Amino acid sequence: MTAPGALVQISPPRRSVELTIDGDTVAAPEGTTILDACRQRGQDIPTLCYLETLHPVNACRVCVVEVENSRVLVPSCSRRIEPGMVVHTDSPRVRHSRKMVLEFLASSVDLSTTPHAAEWIASYECHPERYGPPAPPAAAGIRDAAHAGHHEPPDPAFAATVHQPIKADNELYVRDYGKCILCYKCVEACGIDYQNTYAIAVAGRGFDARISTEFSVPLPGSACVYCGNCIAVCPTGALMFSSEHDRRAAGTWDESRQSVVDTICPYCGVGCTLSLHVQNNEIVKVTSPFDVSITHGNLCIKGRFGWQYVQERPGNGKRTNGVPRRPRDIEAASNAAGKSRRKGHDISQRDGPQHDGPPHAGTPGDGDGKGSGHP
Amino acid sequence: MDLRLTLAEATGDERAAVDACLGPPASQWDGGDRDAAVASRSASGGRELGRARRNLLLPALQAVQRRFGWITEGALIYVCERLDVPPAEAYGVATFYALLATTPRPRRILHVCDDIACQCRGATEMIAELERAAGPPLSHGPHADHVIVDPDGAAWIRSPCLGLCDQAPAAMLQVAGEHPADTLFGATTAPELNAVLHGDDRIQKRPHPRVPQAGAPELRLLARASVIDPASLDAYRSTHGYAGLRRAFELGPAGVIREVLDAKLLGRGGAAFPTGKKWEAVARQPVRPHYLICNADESEPGTFKDRALMEGDPFALVEAMTIAAYATGAELGYIYIRGEYPLAIERLEHAIAQARARGLLGDSVMGHDMRFELEVRRGGGAYICGEETALFNSIEGFRGEPRNKPPFPVDAGLFAKPTVVNNVETLYNVPWIVREGGAAFAAIGTAQSAGTKLFCLCGCVGRPGVYEVPFGTTLREMLTLAGGVPGGRPLRAVLVGGAAGVFVRPDELDMPLTFEGTRAAQATLGSGVIMAVDDTVGLEPMLLRIAAFFRDESCGQCVPCRVGTVRQEEALHRITRGRMRGSIRDELALLGEIGLGMKDASICGLGQTAYSAIESAIQRLRLFETAAAPGGAATP
Ligand SMILES: Cc1cc2nc3c(=O)[nH]c(=O)nc-3n(C[C@H](O)[C@H](O)[C@H](O)COP(=O)(O)O)c2cc1C
Ligand code: SF4
Ligand code: SF4
Ligand code: SF4
Ligand code: FES
Ligand code: FES
């Protein structure tokens, strides 16, 4: 399946469509979304459920704009431009709906690790506290078991929330659904758009809807292959590397002290681009750029999580499995190669591992046969 | 995709229940026993076969539910194996529907309606009495896991409108087992419900009340209801039955569409879209196949007209759909009917079987070069599945979440093919139009609202029921026709159009009931509900019930509706329970903001209309005005 926004696109040139955006006449190729047309002219619109590499689900509605002669507002992330369309991206109606969406989310979900949330909440003058104090977190399992249909009458003292205990049922990543805005991105990444594993889906209905495995079994009992592609697309931090989660809990997570270093995964012949997030000389998580046509941001369990060996070296207190390693400073090495993503260097033209291959763990082709993470 | 299944195993009975729905498995690839001798030598299309049958997911889950009263992990996994559906997705589908359970439940479940029309007729008091006698309702949620459930026991639960508002208060008994039986019954009492809960099955034999206007000569849509035997094809044929289809074959497909266009028939499902235009758009599509769907999900609180039609005159729907299929080139039609209509389902299935046996469906309809088959699909207890694109997803075996439009159904509907979706009542107009001509139809009613219309008179009226009148009849005339408010009590308000409609005041009764007339009055015909509320009925509990309904029935896909319906319900509870944040004015302003956000930014009509009735109660009825007055009961 080719994702929207894939780098390689072979198609006839598209006709140009003229429309009006906020009073300006704008031309863009046929098939462009309103969002892209806006971004092309340097105008940004908040988005949450939209990602270039996934099919739009139009669920969060924070990107709505007003199109003249349309009864309701339209999602700019998926609505394609049409000739003569008159679009308003900042009208009072638009601002009101965005404000309500943000207030609804902020009053029911923990947005503390959602990038831009605080900034948007301020700029749309949201007051999530006006719905009342947030209801205390549900006990573990309560939200997972909610039946569709009837619910208990609300407690007028509180505003209902999705707050609940974190799910930490494996060593690699945690699921903190108290932070989940139900954007469907993880479901798409795990299923139809990339991973084809379908370990998770939306269950339940309405406010009780949730991301779930079958019968909410813990991940180790599910179909999950720990590719981490869901973590990569999650816009809220609801899905998080344990390495990040634990550091945040300990107060040692510090993005200002992290550098992002690109390299090529040493495990197999596909040669996925890895972005190593390095803090204090340790790899703290691994992502892959969304705009690399090899991965579209997806990896497999080995590239995503299998990097402990790099840090297993004598003298750093880490386990070495008895195999001596050459002490190396991966951060320094990669910086020397001038490939820090943080500095905005081009990372898509790479031709091989920037460090020695794994000394013993995971020889190339040592697959586990479970989903490659590639489209 | 490589399915990874958990270790849960289906029992032999569970497999049998699924196989009875899906047919026996063809090979080990779809859940059959592994035959080493064959498996090692042959390939049979394997998984692809199962995937093509994903649309059988809901029927298979329903088969398990109806056999055992709930769906075990083993049974769900077996269904997944048979249809090659990932278990997480199947679980997502099973948990979407209120009538399916994934935690243990007894086989005997009584659904007791506590919705608005039943509220008008004492349901609240009746349920309180039932609770005193029979204990609390079945608790949903995780506690159910730890409670030992006796499968041979019984439990009751509250239900949204069951579509039997003319016989309020209403309930539905579901008994799972080898011979599952569902019974919808009305005019009930707490002692009767308690007896039913404890095994009394007499309600299964209760006679069905007649349509109030039964036999009146001016009836078109209801002409046969309560007059002919609904199980007799001969009785149907002797009352103009199949004259419409015969005429359609003379006119040809384009001629049929011409008549429907000339008739100016507008859809009766709520959106009032011209039916002829819809048919024409699909007929023109070069892509094949085309599909035809009758939307019989009728779950708008207060609505029961489609049930009356299907129960009273099932063959007419089969004929109407055959005509529609002929005009639009569809070879397969679905009737998607809400699961709470057991009698209508039974009668339709019987009618379809009869029609098939007599060559009125099948490979050569009436001997003509036309192939048409009809399938009944039952809903699982989800109002949202009446929204046409949610309905497609439901049939296809996905969660009943509305799709974004465009694309529109006429371009890419069911299975992404051109699809006609029509409401039941819309279709019942078709045989008459084809038989008597579009012009004759357009002459009835008003210029912009042609034909006759069914209204669901319920709540505080003397003779509740479905009434057929020409468009243009006023609200006052309708109330009079239904016997007015009993006991000469004062009318307080009328809810027009259903839970997604609006409350109007007693001084607005001269409103003509047409599409244009209601629009001019900033109201809507909606699904044809006219619910009278007198001074004995509390409007506040009614608003709370409406708010709860939308919160329960939101599919949960989009933020404005998923959270907005919750915030709306909370604000109403704060207001009515004297727990306001700030003044009443603050709370009403907040409600207005929530409502506007839902209306403007929601994906589908559910969220877009979830504030409609509440807004009208505030603005037209000025419901909270007294509370707003200085010194009122408002300030906390
Ligand atoms: C939440 C919601 C529920 C609906 N429920 C029904 C229904 O039960 N029956 C129905 O015919 N139309 C229902 N509709 C309208 C359908 O989407 C669709 O417009 C209609 O079936 C088209 O048929 P018509 O053109 O004959 O009216 C519903 C719409 C919404 C938004
Ligand atoms: S880690 Fe991979 S397989 Fe597991 S849930 Fe996430 S996307 Fe699916
Ligand atoms: S877990 Fe993250 S990606 Fe998945 S729906 Fe929730 S917020 Fe979106
Ligand atoms: S408006 Fe409500 S019912 Fe409709 S798509 Fe959104 S959440 Fe679902
Ligand atoms: S970003 Fe467009 S609807 Fe979510
Ligand atoms: S059956 Fe109870 S409200 Fe309709």
Element (H, E) at B608: helix B605-609
pLDDT at B625: 83
A201 beta partners: A212
B170: tokens are 């209403």
Please compute the mean of the pLDDT values over residues B521-529 and round it to a whole number.
Answer: 96
Domain A173-310 falls under CATH 2.20.25.90:
yes
Q: Of A40, A69, A198, A373, which is closest to residue B84 (Cα–Cα)?
A: A198
Specify burial of residue B477 (Cβ count, 10 A radius: 0-12, 13-18, 19+): middle
Distance from CA of B376 to the nearest CA of A (A): 23
Q: Which chain B residues touch A209 with a CB distance below 8 Å? A: 555-557, 562
* CB-based contact B556 A58, cutoff 8 Å: no
d(CA A305, CA A300): 8
Q: Which residues, 6 or more positions from B24, have their beta carbon under 8 angstroms from its beta carbon?
A: B32
Which of B553, B555, B574 lies nearest to residue A156, judging by beta carbons? B574
* CB-based contact A203 B92, cutoff 8 Å: yes
Please compute the mean of the pLDDT values over residues A312-316 and round it to a whole number.
Answer: 60
Residue nearest ligand 3's atom 7 by CA: A180
Mean pLDDT of chain B: 93
Report the pocket of ligand 2 as residue ranges, CB < 6 Å. Answer: A 189-190, 195, 197, 199-200, 224-230
pLDDT at B33: 66
The CATH 3.10.20.600 domain(s) of chain B lie at 452-534
Concatenated DSSP letters for A209-223? -EEE-GGG--GGGSS
B544: tokens are 């709370």
d(CA A304, CA A370): 14
Residue B290 touches chain A, beta carbons under 8 Å? no
Residue length of chain A = 375
Q: Which chain A residues touch B97 with a CB distance below 8 Å? A: 148
CA B608 to centroid of ligand 4, rounded, Å: 8
Whether ipTM tops 0.90, in short, is yes
Is B602 touching ligand 1 by the criterion CB < 6 Å? no
The answer to whether B165 and B302 are in contact (CB under 8 A) is: yes
For residue B33, CA distances in Å to A316, B28, B123, B292, B504 come to 55, 5, 52, 38, 63
Is B384 touching ligand 4 by the criterion CB < 6 Å? yes
B458 beta partners: B531
d(CA A287, CA A273): 9
The answer to whether B390 and B97 are in contact (CB under 8 A) is: no
Which of B6, B562, B564 lies nearest to residue A214, judging by beta carbons? B6
The per-residue pLDDT for range A190-207, each reduced to its tens digit, is: 999 899 999 999 999 999
* A320 confidence band (pLDDT: 50, 70, 90): very low
At the topology level, CATH places domain B233-442 in: Rossmann fold (3.40.50)
The answer to whether B24 and B32 are in contact (CB under 8 A) is: yes
User: Within 10 Å of residue B310's Cβ, how many Cβ atoms?
Assistant: 27
pLDDT at B26: 78
Residue nearest ligand 1's atom 29 by CA: B387
Concatenated DSSP letters for A235-253? SSSSEEEHHHHHHHHHT--
Q: Is the pLDDT of residue B632 over 80?
A: no
Nearest atom (ligand 3) to Cα of A234: 3
Among A12-16, B89-93, B457-461, where is mean pLDDT lowest? Answer: A12-16
Q: Which residues, 6 or more positions from A18, have their beta carbon under 8 angstroms from its beta carbon?
A: A25, A26, A27, A83, A84
Please compute the mean of the pLDDT values over residues B112-137 and round it to a whole number.
Answer: 97
Please compute the mean of the pLDDT values over residues B447-472 and round it to a whole number.
Answer: 97
pLDDT at B29: 62
The CATH 2.20.25.90 domain(s) of chain A lie at 173-310
Please compute the mean of the pLDDT values over residues A170-190 and round it to a whole number.
Answer: 97
| A214, HSE (Cβ side, Cα atoms, 13 Å) | 30
Q: Is the pLDDT of residue A370 over 60?
A: no
Q: Which chain A residues touch B1 with a CB distance below 8 Å? A: 196-198
Which of B157, B404, B581 lies nearest to residue A132, judging by beta carbons? B581
CA R_g for chain A: 22
The per-residue pLDDT for range A243-296, each reduced to its tens digit, is: 999 999 999 999 999 999 999 999 999 999 999 999 999 999 999 999 999 999
Mutation choice for A interface testing from B147, B338, B551, B600 by most A CBs within 10 A: B600
The per-residue pLDDT for range B350-376, each reduced to its tens digit, is: 999 999 999 999 999 999 999 999 999
The DSSP output letter for A225 is -
Q: What percent of chain B has pLDDT over 70?
A: 92
d(CA B394, CA B147): 31
A72: tokens are 């309701």
Cα separation of the two ends of chain A? 6
Concatenated DSSP letters for B388-453? HHHHHHHHHTS--PPPPSSSPTTTS-GGGS-EEEEEHHHHHTHHHHHHH-HHHHHTSB-SSSBSEE
Residue B95 touches chain A, beta carbons under 8 Å? yes
d(CA A192, CA A187): 8
Residue B32 touches chain A, beta carbons under 8 Å? no
* A13 confidence band (pLDDT: 50, 70, 90): confident
* B317 confidence band (pLDDT: 50, 70, 90): very high
CA B554 to centroid of ligand 4, rounded, Å: 5
* CB-based contact A154 B569, cutoff 8 Å: yes
Q: Is the pLDDT of residue A103 over 90?
A: yes
The DSSP output letter for B268 is T
* B116 confidence band (pLDDT: 50, 70, 90): very high
Q: Of A123, A92, A122, A121, which is closest to residue A104 (Cα–Cα)?
A: A121
d(CA B17, CA B66): 9
- Domain B452-534 has what CATH class? alpha beta
* A371 confidence band (pLDDT: 50, 70, 90): very low
Among A80-84, A346-350, B30-34, where is mean pLDDT lowest? Answer: A346-350
* A150 confidence band (pLDDT: 50, 70, 90): confident
CA A256 to centroid of ligand 2, rounded, Å: 28
Concatenated DSSP letters for B327-366? HHTEEEEEEEE-TT-HHHHHHHHHHHHHHHHTTSSBSSGG
The CATH 3.40.50.11540 domain(s) of chain B lie at 233-442
Report the pocket of ligand 5 as residue ranges, CB < 6 Å. Answer: A 47-50, 58-63, 75, 77
Residue A108 touches chain B, beta carbons under 8 Å? yes
* CB-based contact B563 A107, cutoff 8 Å: yes
CA B269 to centroid of ligand 1, rounded, Å: 4
The answer to whether A249 and A168 are in contact (CB under 8 A) is: no
Q: Which chain A residues touch B382 with a CB distance below 8 Å? A: 148, 205
Distance from CA of A149 to the nearest CA of B (A): 5
Nearest atom (ligand 3) to Cα of A189: 3
The DSSP output letter for B384 is G
The four Cα atoms B497, B503, B506, B509 give a dihedral, to 10 degrees, of -30
d(CA B527, CA B387): 13
B109 beta partners: B155, B174
* A310 confidence band (pLDDT: 50, 70, 90): confident
Is B419 touching ligand 4 by the criterion CB < 6 Å? no
pLDDT at A335: 37
Q: What percent of chain A has pLDDT over 90?
A: 75
Q: Is the pLDDT of residue A359 over 50?
A: no
d(CA A287, CA A283): 11
pLDDT at A9: 55
Distance from CA of A172 to the nearest CA of B (A): 20
B15: tokens are 């497999």
pTM: predicted TM-score of the whole model, two decimal places = 0.91
Which one of 3.10.20.740, 3.30.70.250, 3.40.1190.20, 3.40.50.920 gives the CATH number of domain A13-130?
3.10.20.740
Tell me the ligand closest to A173's alpha carbon: 2
Tell me the ligand closest to A49's alpha carbon: 5
Q: Which residues, 6 or more positions from B519, have their beta carbon under 8 angstroms from its beta carbon?
A: none
Distance from CA of B452 to the nearest CA of A (A): 28
Q: Of A149, A102, A97, A100, which is closest to residue A121 (Cα–Cα)?
A: A102
Q: Is the previous residue joined to B169 through a cis bond, with omega within 30 degrees of 0?
A: yes
Q: Do β-strands B154-159 and B171-175 pair in parallel, antiparallel, or remain unpaired?
A: unpaired
B455 beta partners: B467
- Using CA coordinates, name the residue in chain A closest to B72: A215
CA B163 to centroid of ligand 6, rounded, Å: 5
d(CA B126, CA B119): 9
At the topology level, CATH places domain B539-628 in: de novo design (two linked rop proteins) (1.20.1440)
The per-residue pLDDT for range B598-609, each reduced to its tens digit, is: 999 999 999 999
* A80 confidence band (pLDDT: 50, 70, 90): very high
Q: Which chain A residues touch B75 with a CB distance below 8 Å? A: none
* CB-based contact B88 A59, cutoff 8 Å: no
The per-residue pLDDT for range B186-237, each reduced to its tens digit, is: 999 999 999 999 999 888 888 888 999 999 999 999 999 999 999 999 999 9
User: Within 10 Å of residue B507's Cβ, how many Cβ atoms?
Assistant: 6
The CATH 3.40.30 domain(s) of chain B lie at 108-197
Q: What percent of chain A has pLDDT over 70?
A: 80
Residue A75 touches chain B, beta carbons under 8 Å? yes
Surface of A (349-368) touching B: CB under 8 A: none
The answer to whether B517 and B511 are in contact (CB under 8 A) is: yes
Please compute the mean of the pLDDT values over residues B105-132 and round it to a whole number.
Answer: 97
The answer to whether B267 and B309 are in contact (CB under 8 A) is: no
Q: Of A337, A331, A347, A341, which is closest to residue A272 (Cα–Cα)?
A: A347
Distance from CA of A325 to the nearest CA of B (A): 38
The CATH 3.10.20.740 domain(s) of chain A lie at 13-130
Please compute the mean of the pLDDT values over residues B101-115 and round it to a whole number.
Answer: 96
Which of B103, B160, B570 lies nearest to residue A160, judging by beta carbons? B570
Q: Is the pLDDT of residue A325 over 50?
A: no
d(CA B375, CA B294): 10
Among A151-155, A280-284, A332-336, B629-633, where is mean pLDDT lowest? Answer: A332-336
The four Cα atoms B430, B436, B440, B445 give a dihedral, to 10 degrees, of -40
Tell me the ligand closest to A186's alpha carbon: 3
Which one of 3.30.70, 1.10.20, 3.40.50, 3.40.30 gives the CATH number of domain B108-197?
3.40.30
- Using CA coordinates, name the residue in chain B closest to A193: B1
Q: Which chain A residues touch B573 with a CB distance below 8 Å? A: 153-154, 156
* CB-based contact A146 B141, cutoff 8 Å: yes
* B5 confidence band (pLDDT: 50, 70, 90): low
The separation between CA A2 and the C-alpha centre of its own chain, rounded to angstroms, equals 19
The CATH 1.20.1440.230 domain(s) of chain B lie at 539-628
